[in-house]
Amino acid sequence: MGCLPEGFLWGGATAANQCEGACQEGGRGLANVDLIPAGPERIAVMRGVRKMLKWEDGYTYPGQEAIDMYHHFKEDIALFAEMGFKCYRLSIAWSRIYPNGFDEEPNEEGLRFYEALFDECHKYGMEPLVTIVHFDAPLACIKKFGSWKSRQMIDCYLKYCETIFRRYKGKVKYWLTFNEINMVLHLPFMAAGILFEEGENEEESKYIAAHHELVASALATKMAHEIDPENQVGCMLAAGRFYPYSCDPEDVFAAMEKDRANYFFIDVQSRGKYPNYARKMIERKGFAIDITQEDEKVLAENTVDFISFSYYSSRLTAAHSEKYGEASQNAMESMRNPYLKASEWGWQIDPMGLRITLNSLYDRYQKPLFIVENGLGAVDKPDENGFVDDQYRIDYLRAHIKAMKQAVNEDGVPLMGYTPWGCIDLVSASTGEMKKRYGFIYVDKDDSGKGTLKRSRKASFEWYKKVIASNGEEL
């Protein structure tokens, strides 16, 4: 099947709020992501319709402790190194660096924490890939000016970027400006700290916030290149093609439109301008988005160097879905695809969809791609010795790596690396559960918060180690 390129960045991915814990230690301020409870109200909070700007009695907040990587990072990075990781994707918690988002000075303790973490990566020859914002928005910015609904957020973000670009110059060269930037349309509070007032035009507000993020992303790209020409900056999309339910042209058109709602962000970040279909939509709906000439210039002159994305599943849609019966999954609605099996959480498993997604993205943008999330969320049951034999996870990853190799070797897609999600078990973003696990490393903690936090190697740990050692030949 051919080989993957030399220097291919094998690794794994995490996000600060889902693994670090210690959310009030080291001078860290609170953020939206700390205030999303586990349980039935989680989804309403993530959507911004149930306001929860403080910890309320009777709820549990899984991000408070998570897997306490804040105190375990040396041990965890040593385990990643044992698997042979070439790259570790992590995010910086914005409010560890600027506790309120608009503070005069950065928080030195927060800066030192990530410095130690990056040094630990380099000790093992592991390249950090840093997500600047993985959903987090400082709480004080939400309260003061409504987070990304306001242009003021761009200045706060750029101040934070400048601090980390300067401080970590030479230690970090791969940056992602926003995790799953299209998620602002689906889970606006979780993804961007957006709340809605009664009667507010929610869709308009989301596109206003999106515009501010897009301008911030372009300005950060510019700044990263100026501070260190070695820096490479990527955008990040929650990907997965929409398939039409049937060959009815109306279904095909519906699928194209759903894809465009996601591509919109990458069209701007990679091609440097609002695509015509988006301009028309904004005009038709009468959205008052302040797109200045200066914004247009900034967007045009500062496109990303590479395109990264998460892929868990393809999606399915129809013009008249009621004909077929709707099934929803994840934050994006999808119908049930009769050709696919699904995970325990209903996420449909489609390795070929990864090959299709890789090809679609490369056809559209012709920039190097990076798969920065992929994996199977599953319930793991340790045996009496605490060992997890997760063949189901190995099967999922093997099939996806095969599809990825086909895209590279048979279709010619340039791919920089592969960092499967939750390489160590961590808190699920969509459900807040611990039992939805992705890791090669098991963490002893359950949904009620009990457990020793002990780390242990699953069967997939040894398997992935061989995959990396053989550069993807031995699957």
Determine, following the binding rule CB under 6 A, whether residue 329 of this chain makes contact with ligand BGP.
no
Shortest separation between residue 377's beta carbon and ligand BGP, angstroms: 4
Range in contact with ligand BGP (rule: CB under 6 A) among 291-299, 320-328, 336-344, 427-435: 427-435
Residues 151/209, Cβ–Cβ less than 8 Å: no
Least Å distance between CB 301 and ligand BGP?
A: 28
Helix, strand, coil share (%) of the chain residues, nearest 5: 45, 15, 45
Active site residue 333: no
Burial 242-263 (b: 16+ CB within 10 A, else e): bbbbeeeeebbebbeebbebbb
With contacts defined by CB under 6 A, name the span among 65-73, 136-144, 148-156, 423-431 that binds ligand BGP. 423-431
Q: Is 251 in the site for ligand BGP (CB under 6 A)?
A: no
Binding residue for ligand BGP (CB under 6 A) from 4, 9, 15, 332?
A: 15
Q: What angle do CA 358, 222, 86 make, to 5 degrees?
A: 50
The nearer residue to ligand BGP, 303 or 343, going by C-beta atoms, is: 343
Stretch 229-248: interaction string toward ligand BGP, x if CB under 6 A: ---------x----------
359 to 388, contacts with ligand BGP by CB under 6 A?
A: 373, 377
Q: How far is the CB of 170 from ligand BGP (least distance, A)?
A: 27
* CB 87 within 8 Å of CB 468: no
Q: How far is the CB of 397 from ligand BGP (least distance, A)?
A: 14
Max Cα–Cα distance, the chain, nearest Å: 64
Helix (H) or strand (E) holding 17: helix 16-19
Catalytic annotation, pick one of 180, 200, 213, 301 = 180
429 binds ligand BGP, rule: CB under 6 A: yes
Q: Which of 297, 296, 298, 264 is nearest to 282 (CA)?
A: 264
Note the helical H segments in 228-318: 249-271, 276-285, 293-301
Piece of 100-108, 222-230, 297-305, 426-434 that binds ligand BGP (CB under 6 A)? 426-434
State yes or no: residue 421 binds ligand BGP (CB under 6 A). Answer: yes
Neighbours of 30 (CB within 10 A): 21
Give the contact letters, 166-205, x = binds to ligand BGP (CB under 6 A), - = no: -------------xx-------------------------
Instruction: Let me know the angle formed at the C-alpha of 238 by 186 and 146, rounded to the nearest 5 degrees.
Output: 40
User: Closer to ligand BGP at the Cβ: 37 or 377?
Assistant: 377
Does position 436 bind ligand BGP by CB under 6 A?
A: yes
Written as six digits, the tokens of 271 are 């091609």
Residue 295 or 433 with smaller CB distance to ligand BGP:
433
Q: Which of 163, 182, 221, 428 binds ligand BGP (CB under 6 A)?
A: 428
**Cα dist. 214→147, 178, 237, 324, 474 in Å?**
14, 9, 13, 36, 40
Residue pair 188/213 in contact by the 8 Å Cβ criterion: no
Stretch that binds ligand BGP, among 92-100, 286-294, 428-436, 466-474 (CB under 6 A): 428-436
User: 409 or 431, CB closer to ligand BGP?
Assistant: 431
Given the residues 120, 127, 373, 433, select the one marked as catalytic. Answer: 373
Verify binding: residue 63, ligand BGP, rule CB under 6 A: no
Question: Which structure tokens are listed for 382?
Answer: 């340790």
Number of residues that bind ligand BGP (CB under 6 A): 14
In angstroms, the Cα distances linking 368 to 69, 92, 180, 223, 364 are: 31, 24, 17, 21, 11
Give which of 357, 169, 325, 337 is closest to 244, Cα–Cα: 337
**Active-site annotation holds for 25:** no
217 binds ligand BGP (CB under 6 A): no
Q: Which two tokens stand for residue 91?
A: 């995010």
Using CB under 6 A, list all residues that contact ligand BGP.
15, 18, 179-180, 238, 310, 373, 377, 421, 428-431, 436
Q: Which residue numbers are catalytic? A: 180, 373
